[in-house]
Structure 1
Amino acid sequence: MEDRKEVIEMELTIEQKQKRNNYSREYYKEHKEEMNAYSKEYYKNNREYYRNYYKNYRVLHKEHMAETQKKWREFNDKRDTVYMFINDLGENIYVGSTTYKGTRLVNHLTGNSNLKLTAEELVSDYNLVGILYKEFTEYNLSREDLYLIENFYLEKQGSILNKKPIVIHEENLTRSKEELIDIAEKVEYKEFDKLERYLD
């Protein structure tokens, strides 16, 4: 049965999966009370099964959990980054820097950052069309170096949402300002390709 399910999953296109997920979501909304009542009754009648299932979950799913943890570690791997949220006119909505790119961008797009705006709100209120970033991990920069590069782009390109000035403690820089700006200009922009995940 599990093998058959896997084959079906593999055969489904992205559009078909989205259609199926949308159908399930709408069906649940329309039959919420009925489905909740059924779930409670089912749980009551199968309590022993659930107890054993959760008790043995770690043993039964050891490999899957290890794989998930590995992906999580890769996703949260250290990435020294300066990033820009861009609107439809090519202007910066926001410029920021981080030592953990994946986590920071996800926090922004889910409303769990200083911006207090979700991806959808950034699109509807500020016409967000994309996120560009420059990655500096290979240069082994300090946090202060990243602040300087962030500030360089703020002064050069401007930003709609950045309000507070960045205070640079020059004694903590690992290189001269000129060297850091040279590195910043040399590194190419990349595009964050997971924005669609955070838009309904």
Structure 2
Amino acid sequence: MKVKIGILGGTFDPPHHAHLIIANESRIKLGLEKIIFLPNAVPPHKKESGLASNADRLKMIELAIADNPFFEVDDREMHRSGKSYTYDTMIEMTKEFPNAAFSFIIGGDMVEYLPKWYHINELIKLVNFVGVNRPRYDGDAPYDIEEIEVPALDISSSMLRERLAAGLPIDYYVPNEVSEYIKEHHLYEKRRNLGSSQGSDA
């Protein structure tokens, strides 16, 4: 019997409680042995935030998941030159862990974009895609997606960056250790400084 492993990718810029709830609920509902947080360096379908370094994002994830023995982080995509493609990563992982069955967890809003993913027809043979809180719409999904529901939290990393840039606290949105790390290292303040000097927040 294969070991069931979940993969949760993203920028985690910064990681927050919604990420942790999605990971934990997915592990429980899918009967996964563990969840691997997979921070990416240059997402193909998303502009780089340019706000926190790879090292800072990695440290924040480590702090966020430190007390959960079922969570771990894999930083391979941060060290890859060029854009990070899920297909390349899963080719590596399936070779490294031939006895594993991987579930790749995505937000429900990403399901409709799967046809645009790099080598998607080959990728779906490597992983089981799991759509979390998928919006309901008419029409068939382009691929077989396992759907699960988790408690919905209206939190996003972009919203937290905006709050921090505006000088607002993010207490209770992120683990205390992450909040303290952000304060100590003055992360996400760059945007406010650039905005005041250039007159815009491009």
TM-score over 0.5 for the pair: no
How would you bin the TM-score normalised by the shorter chain?
under 0.3
Give me the TM-score of the superposition, normalised by structure 2. Answer: 0.21
Computing the radius of gyration from Cα coordinates, the structure with the larger value is 1
